[in-house]
């Protein structure tokens, strides 16, 4: 009989949950058969079970049972008594650490009969601002009750809690609470520090303190069967968890205690029994003593079921099979009993294996997956949703008392100024109350080392120079300061005293100047009074290696970083360089400061740790440290990261990234084995000299992640039949060169030199040693992470310690087999099944990662390893996709998206992308006509999500990388590519490659073509490359220029002299920027190519007065890169019907082309504005809208009223007419505002464009004249519109601020530059404000009643977005749903593209204030969209799920809505008799038009 047994089969416990779950029949005592509770009672009442159990993972180890001859087992139930506490004693109910050194202690006094219970709460922090937020807890009630007896000063908080102030006693604060309500079982509380607005919690939960029972419970007991049932019910409530034996016992006793407390409060046993019977769903009869005469004891049934399991080949039974096997074992024994065999004889027969069993041999390992593929569980994708967005921590300055400068500080300051501030290194050492300064400067290319100390006794420096680490070389005579003495391998120089009136006493110093760049360092020690003064037992060392590094950028001011933290890191770096132990301990010490700094603080730690991991920082310098000390420091740091991961879900993504740069670590034994095991390898394999001895010395003094690579290189070398080239290849491929091996403090000079007879032993021992190395250094290595989670044991040999890592309890069922599947298939060439297995494993442990667990960091390292393995598998699987169809590529995309979503703090957009891909797959499989068009929209949205992810990395990480990299002297190339490498190392890069592979397939299938030519025009110009169009929008080019701009937001103006703008950004065809461009005769081309990275690109050509202008988005990054490479050259852009060709031309051709353009276009049109005057009214209704009072926007909407079909809604409108702004400005109450504006307008006329922002801010300070408020209120109410002031003064102030923002937009940059270009008098520009009630739209749309792409007047073109229209006309990323519809067939809209915009805007019932200037819609000038429309309330941004939107999923609904939009457009065009540009919304299927203008 084996010593191993599967869980749930032998041990009668909560582990056998399925038995309890599937068997509802109760025995006559009311106890479920085979339950933990019955078995526990038997074991308590009789002797210990003869079966000793121990857990390993999901298996239960057991010794074979041994029975005493002639023994009989008792099955009686023994009631248990409960001892009461000494009623006069005071008990400590709990001690907690609140924050740093602040401790909380709660003590309670057990009451005598009839007395109150006293709770004393003390905090080791004296403050007048501490508040106890508390309440009482009744039995099984979640809501707090408010005790009637309350301490002085207590306030009722919203009838949900009490708030009681603490009493400040100086160094601590205390509070006493008296509870006289016997029904209150416990109190719960939080502590609030009102002064700091800080809550103290118990690991994110309430503090919970149980109150003692009254004295009279000491003689109380409850029947054991009720304890059993209550335990079962508790187990059910907790989700039927897997318990260890110790946990089972705790649960059982907790159930007993709860029942005893109820009885102590007066509940009768009968009431208890009735309540438990009702909850359990069965009638409970009075318990009775089990008669053993005709019943088989449960322990014998267990043993027999174990024997059956062994004979069946130890299969992994399902819950139903476990239950069946248990009953079959019982039947076999019952059969023996019915034959007259005694229980004693049955025991003997079981021991000898003589009981007849009928069981078929099964597979040795029955897995829940097939050999080639796992069966993935069906999950709701929304269960993966995370919306943990980190909030921005505002930069705050900490007031610090300036410290008085010491003599050494003053000396250093003087030398820095003397050497021109070119400081390369500065450090002050504290030496027994004195200071030692090491200052390295580099004035005029010469390296100077200043040493200075405030010792009073004479000091001599004993020093040398080194060309490699650990070396002492005698300094050349040319660098010796005067009075120096040359020694063998060193020199001695006495420090000279220097006094100054600025210094309180003398400073001794020496200056050493070094010209030769070959020296990398200067080791030294000090001698004073016959004593050697060292750096913590080792040499001082001045690192000169940074002299060869690339010159750094200026550190800047640290904007966008947690600068105080980064400065602290920089200050501690010289200490951190000593060893990993120092670095990890410093990082652990800084974690609290990083947490307080929020997202940017943790970004700073990540940047620092990644610089370390990529070998940009020194790992070890002049310090020997034991492996177990490094391991312990790692353990300390990862404990901090684990605890922060539990308490701050918004930072989990950053914390995971930090953990991936740090090894797992571990206390004591794991680290010590690094040191011990190498000695055993040398002894066992007779390889004590040469390279192995050098490596042994390195391992003893400073082990590092390099040792994992060295070990792998040795294994590869041995496996390759001792090919030394393989050894070096493994090292070099992982960044370890010969120079690096020589740079260690314990350098490795030799190559491995093994004998052939050592091969097998070395492979065995080095393979085992690799596990030890990875356990410390490679927490994210898959095999190591799995081993740490599932548990392992490694015996010690001689002096070498043994290691036992226990398995993590309560892992999901089948999880170990899932991990085994991943390990077995990790090298498979066809990776699909592996990817499914890895992701299934990640899904299985996902819920555990959000729960409190002492081994959480082991689970985190496992999840990080699984994530990384998915990424490497995808990269290896690209070949598998070479000849794959679109469905397989789409499926791979869903897998990589799932991997990315599982690691993201805010993954809502990614989840909706996954849902979109699943729908696209279904549509493809069902041969839907539009599947490729729909998939293309999902692809575009996925690209936007990746761009957003990359932008987050750039914004959060790159500023810290640049600042910290600069102050630490990191190579500039490593700083420049920091974020790029982060992105490249993640799943986003793999996903982008898959999208690029799929894109051309979708385009071809959807017949999208390579180019979309909207209006062909030929242009010629010089190529100029800029980063942002915004940065040059006010520039005037003196020659025809083709701008290649990396970023275009959509709100900029095209600079004068520009003939084309090419960019990777593209707004919607009907956005404001596109409309303005078309109104300026812009002609559009869209290049649709396969090689898109994150964004789209399209060509938009325009004629802007006397110059032809091309506004362009290039779909192909290769084309865009080629255009950028032509910077400074002259190109001709020539469109054809299916392509756009560009070629280099001569300057003479440019002159001819420009001349032709000028002849065609003529002079710039002359546009003038008529200044509007105040007409005596602050507000008017739509019936009063005239050209003297309002702009075209207001007049057009008023004209539509009553003329459009009844099924088209027109919102009610009023307006603040022209001249009201000027009238308000002239009012006496705004005199101060006018005085501020006058000098600002003067600055603006003097070309100081920074004044624009100041003018806008000043306009917002205007006060509203009472007459304006009254007139606007009257007009709005008479028109049936709600008046904001009826909801309170605050609501009116919101409305007034929105009005002022509309007026202020007269001075926004894009409008100001636009009017100035065409020489419009900006002072004559007047702004009316159209006031409309916002329709909370389901959808918004823009219609062009003549197709702007083709100029086809028989065809309507429209775009639709979900939510408000600002995402369509504004600069929001993604595309709208677009369609065309023939005017003679309005029931048949044709969808051109599905939506990809990730964000929709929604708003409460509100008012919008629209700009309506006299400078919009002028003939020959595109003024539309230049000025702002402002809602009174802020819109809510919602991440959109198109898979639940009927406009996307329901063809009939879509046809109905799009046809209605087209009909509305056709009706309005017919009304005006000309092509129209129309904006509107859809609400509950009804069409509303909010504005229309002539289409240009």
Residues with catalytic annotation? Answer: 1072
CA distances, 706 to each of 718, 748, 1177 (Å): 19, 12, 81
C-beta neighbour count of 1121 within 10 angstroms: 11
Separation CA 277–CA 556 (nearest Å): 73
Separation CA 939–CA 929 (nearest Å): 17
* Phi, psi dihedral angles at 797 (to 5 degrees): -130, 115
Q: In a 10 Å sphere around its CB, with 0-12 CB exposed, 13-18 middle and 19+ buried, how is residue 210 labelled?
A: middle
Give, as one character, the DSSP assignment of residue 1230: G
What tokens were used for 336?
Answer: 């023996």
- Burial readout 761-787 (b: 16 or more C-beta within 10 A, e: otherwise): ebeebbeebbbbbbbbbbbbbbbbbbb
Nearest-10 crossing angle of helices 627-647, 690-702? 50
31 and 225 Cβ atoms separated by less than 8 Å: yes
* 247 Cα distance to chain centroid: 35
Nearest-10 crossing angle of helices 627-647, 669-685? 140
Give, as one character, the DSSP assignment of residue 1350: T
Those residues whose C-beta lies under 8 Å from the C-beta of residue 496, and which sit 6 or more positions away, are 508, 509, 510
1310 and 1049 Cβ atoms separated by less than 8 Å: no
Separation CA 408–CA 1481 (nearest Å): 72
- Burial readout 1294-1324 (b: 16 or more C-beta within 10 A, e: otherwise): bbbebbbbbbbbbbbbbbbbbbebbebebee
Q: Closest Cα to residue 585, out of 550, 543, 629?
A: 629
Strand-pairing partners, residue 1381, are 1356
Q: What is the 3-state secondary structure (H, E, C) of 502-570?
A: CCCCCEEEEEEEECCCCCCEEEEEEEECCEEECECCECEEEECHHHHCCCCCCCCCCCCCCHHHHHHHH
Run of H or E including 1431:
strand 1430-1431
Run of H or E including 1333:
strand 1327-1333
Give, as one character, the DSSP assignment of residue 1284: G
Q: Which residue has the tokens 């509802």?
A: 24
What tokens were used for 201?
Answer: 């919690």
Separation CA 1182–CA 1381 (nearest Å): 32
Max CA separation in the chain (angstroms): 121
Separation CA 1055–CA 1045 (nearest Å): 12
C-beta neighbour count of 1035 within 10 angstroms: 15
Separation CA 1251–CA 1245 (nearest Å): 10
Run of H or E including 1492:
strand 1486-1494
Give, as one character, the DSSP assignment of residue 433: T
What tokens were used for 155?
Answer: 């306030």
215 and 224 Cβ atoms separated by less than 8 Å: no
Separation CA 1006–CA 327 (nearest Å): 61
């Amino acid at each position: 009989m084996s010593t191993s047994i599967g869980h749930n089969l032998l041990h009668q416990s909560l582990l056998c949950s399925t038995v309890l779950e599937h068997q509802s029949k109760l025995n006559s005592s009311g106890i479920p058969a085979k339950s933990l509770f019955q078995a526990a009672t038997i074991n308590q009442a009789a002797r210990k079970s003869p079966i000793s159990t121990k857990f390993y993972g999901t298996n239960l180890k057991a010794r074979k049972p041994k029975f005493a001859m002639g023994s009989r087992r008792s099955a009686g139930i023994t009631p248990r008594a409960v001892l009461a506490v000494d009623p006069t004693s005071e008990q400590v109910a709990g001690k907690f650490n609140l924050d740093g050194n602040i401790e909380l202690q709660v003590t309670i006094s057990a009451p005598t009969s009839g007395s109150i219970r006293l709770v004393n709460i003390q905090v080791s922090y004296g403050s007048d601002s501490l508040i106890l937020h508390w309440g009482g807890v009744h039995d099984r009630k979640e809501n707090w009750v408010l005790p009637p007896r309350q301490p002085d000063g207590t306030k009722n908080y919203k009838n949900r809690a009490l708030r009681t102030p603490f009493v400040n006693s100086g160094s601590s604060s205390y509070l006493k609470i008296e509870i006289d309500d016997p029904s209150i079982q416990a109190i719960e509380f939080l502590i609030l520090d009102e002064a700091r607005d800080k809550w103290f919690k118990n690991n994110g939960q309430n503090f919970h303190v149980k109150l003692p029972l009254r004295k009279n419970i000491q003689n109380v007991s409850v029947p054991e069967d009720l304890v059993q049932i209550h335990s079962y019910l508790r187990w059910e409530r907790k989700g039927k968890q897997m318990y260890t034996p110790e946990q089972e016992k705790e649960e059982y006793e907790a159930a007993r205690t709860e029942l005893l407390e109820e009885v102590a409060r007066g509940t009768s046993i009968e009431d208890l029994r009735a309540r438990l019977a009702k909850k359990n769903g069965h009638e409970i009869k009075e318990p009775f003593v089990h008669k053993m005469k005709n019943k088989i004891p449960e322990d014998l049934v267990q043993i027999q079921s174990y024997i059956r399991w062994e004979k069946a080949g130890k299969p992994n039974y399902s819950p139903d099979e476990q239950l069946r096997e248990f009953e079959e074992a019982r039947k076999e024994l019952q059969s023996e009993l019915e034959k007259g065999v005694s229980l004693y004889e049955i025991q003997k027969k079981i021991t000898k294996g003589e009981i007849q069993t009928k069981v078929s041999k099964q597979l040795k390992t029955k897995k829940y997956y097939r050999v080639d593929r796992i069966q993935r569980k069906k999950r709701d994708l929304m269960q993966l949703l995370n919306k943990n967005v980190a909030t921005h921590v505002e930069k705050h300055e900490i007031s610090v008392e300036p410290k008085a400068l010491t003599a050494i500080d003053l000396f250093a300051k003087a030398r820095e100024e003397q050497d021109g501030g070119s400081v390369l290194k500065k450090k002050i050492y504290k030496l027994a109350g004195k200071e030692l300064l090491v200052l390295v400067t580099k004035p005029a290319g010469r390296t100077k080392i200043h040493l200075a100390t405030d010792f009073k006794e004479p000091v001599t420096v004993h020093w040398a120079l080194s060309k490699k680490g650990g070396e002492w070389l005698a300094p050349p005579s040319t660098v010796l300061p005067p009075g120096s003495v040359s020694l063998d391998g060193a020199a001695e120089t006495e420090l000279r005293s220097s006094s100054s009136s600025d210094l309180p006493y003398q400073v001794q110093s020496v200056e050493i100047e070094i010209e030769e760049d070959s020296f990398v360092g200067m080791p030294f020690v000090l001698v004073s009074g016959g004593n050697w003064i060292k750096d913590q037992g080792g040499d001082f060392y001045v690192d000169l290696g940074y002299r060869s590094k690339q010159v750094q950028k200026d550190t800047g001011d640290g904007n966008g970083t947690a600068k105080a933290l980064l400065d602290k890191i920089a200050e501690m770096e010289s200490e951190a360089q000593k060893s990993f132990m120092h670095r990890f301990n410093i990082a652990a010490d800084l974690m609290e400061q990083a947490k307080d700094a929020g997202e940017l603080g943790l970004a700073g730690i990540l940047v620092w740790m990644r610089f370390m991991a990529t070998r940009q920082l020194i790992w070890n310098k002049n310090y020997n440290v034991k492996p177990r000390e490094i391991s312990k420091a790692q353990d300390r740091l990862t404990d901090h990261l684990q605890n922060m991961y539990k308490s701050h879900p918004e930072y989990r993504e950053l914390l995971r990234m930090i953990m991936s740069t740090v090894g797992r670590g571990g206390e004591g034994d794991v680290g010590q084995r690094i040191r011990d095991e190498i000695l055993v390898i040398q002894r066992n394999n007779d390889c004590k000299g040469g390279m192995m001895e050098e490596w042994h010395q390195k391992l003893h003094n400073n082990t590092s992640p390099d040792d994992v690579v060295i070990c792998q290189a040795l294994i590869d070398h041995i496996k390759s039949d001792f090919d030394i080239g393989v050894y070096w290849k493994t090292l070099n491929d992982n960044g370890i060169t010969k120079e690096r091996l020589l740079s260690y403090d314990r350098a490795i000079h030799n190559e491995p030199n093994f004998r052939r007879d050592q091969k097998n032993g070395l492979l065995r021992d080095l393979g085992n040693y690799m596990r030890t190395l990875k356990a410390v250094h490679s927490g994210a290595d898959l095999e190591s992470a799995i081993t740490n989670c599932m548990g392992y044991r490694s015996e010690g040999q001689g002096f070498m310690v043994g290691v036992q890592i226990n398995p993590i309890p309560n892992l999901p069922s089948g999880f170990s087999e899932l991990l085994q599947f991943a390990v077995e298939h990790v090298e498979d060439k066809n990776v699909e099944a592996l990817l499914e297995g890895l992701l299934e494993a990640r899904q299985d442990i996902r819920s555990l990662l959000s729960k409190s667990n002492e081994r959480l960091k082991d689970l985190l390292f496992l999840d990080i390893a699984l994530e990384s393995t998915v990424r490497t598998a995808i990269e290896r699987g690209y070949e598998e996709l070479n000849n794959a169809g679109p469905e397989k590529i789409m499926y791979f995309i869903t897998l990589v998206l799932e991997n990315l979503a599982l690691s993201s703090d805010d993954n809502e957009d990614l989840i909706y992308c996954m849902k979109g891909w699943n729908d696209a797959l279904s549509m493809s499989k069902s041969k839907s006509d539009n599947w490729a068009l729909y998939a293309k929209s999902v692809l575009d949205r996925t690209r936007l999500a990746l761009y957003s992810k990359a932008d987050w990395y750039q914004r959060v990480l790159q500023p810290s990388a640049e600042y910290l990299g600069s102050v630490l002297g990191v190579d500039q190339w490593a700083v420049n590519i920091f974020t790029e490498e982060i992105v490249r190392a993640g799943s986003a890069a793999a996903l982008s490659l898959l999208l690029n592979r799929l894109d051309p397939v979708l385009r071809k299938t959807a017949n999208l073509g390579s180019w979309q030519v909207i209006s062909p025009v030929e242009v010629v110009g010089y190529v100029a490359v800029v980063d942002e169009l915004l940065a040059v929008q006010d520039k005037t080019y003196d020659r025809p220029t083709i701008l290649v701009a990396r970023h275009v937001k959509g709100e900029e103006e095209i600079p004068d002299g520009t003939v084309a703008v090419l960019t990777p950004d593209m707004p919607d065809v009907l956005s404001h920027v596109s409309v303005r461009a078309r109104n300026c005769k812009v002609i559009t081309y869209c290049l649709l190519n396969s090689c898109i990275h994150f964004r789209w690109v399209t060509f938009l050509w325009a004629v802007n007065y006397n110059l032809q202008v091309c506004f362009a988005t290039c779909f192909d990054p290769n084309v865009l890169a080629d255009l950028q490479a032509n910077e400074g050259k002259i190109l001709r852009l020539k469109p054809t019907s299916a392509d756009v060709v560009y070629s280099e031309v001569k300057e003479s051709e440019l002159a001819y082309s420009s001349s032709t353009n000028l002849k065609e276009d003529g002079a710039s049109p002359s546009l003038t504005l008529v200044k509007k005057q105040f007409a005596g009214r602050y507000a008017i209704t739509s019936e009063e809208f005239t050209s003297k009072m309002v702009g075209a926007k207001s007049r057009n909407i008023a004209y539509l009223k009553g003329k459009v079909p009844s099924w088209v809604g027109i919102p009610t409108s009023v307006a603040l007419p022209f001249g009201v702004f000027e009238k308000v400005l002239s009012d006496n109450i705004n005199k101060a505002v006018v005085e501020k504006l006058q000098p600002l307008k003067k600055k603006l006329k003097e070309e100081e464009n920074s004044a624009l922002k100041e003018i806008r801010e000043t306009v917002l300070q205007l006060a509203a004249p009472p007459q304006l408020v009254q007139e606007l209120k009257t007009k709005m109410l008479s028109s049936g519109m709600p008046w904001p002031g009826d909801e309170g003064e605050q609501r009116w102030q919101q409305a007034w601020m929105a009005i002022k923002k509309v007026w202020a937009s007269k001075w926004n940059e894009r409008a100001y530059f636009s009017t100035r270009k065409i020489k419009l008098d900006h002072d004559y520009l007047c702004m009316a404000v159209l006031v409309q009630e916002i329709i909370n739209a389901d959808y918004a749309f823009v219609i062009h009643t003549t197709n702007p792409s083709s100029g086809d007047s028989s065809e309507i073109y429209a775009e639709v977005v979900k939510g408000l229209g600002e995402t369509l006309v504004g600069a929001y990323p993604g595309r709208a749903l677009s369609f065309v519809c023939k005017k003679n067939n309005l029931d048949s809209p044709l969808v051109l593209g599905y939506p990809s915009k990730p964000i929709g805007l929604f708003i409460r019932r509100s008012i919008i204030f629209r700009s309506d200037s006299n400078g919009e819609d002028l003939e020959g000038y595109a003024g539309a969209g230049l000025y702002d429309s402002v809602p009174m309330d802020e819109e809510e941004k919602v991440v959109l799920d198109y898979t639940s939107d009927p406009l996307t999923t329901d063809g009939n609904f879509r046809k109905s809505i799009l046809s209605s939009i087209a009909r509305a457009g056709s009706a309005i065009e017919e009304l005006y008799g000309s092509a129209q540009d129309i904006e509107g919304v859809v609400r509950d299927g009804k069409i509303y038009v909010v504005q229309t203008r002539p289409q240009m």
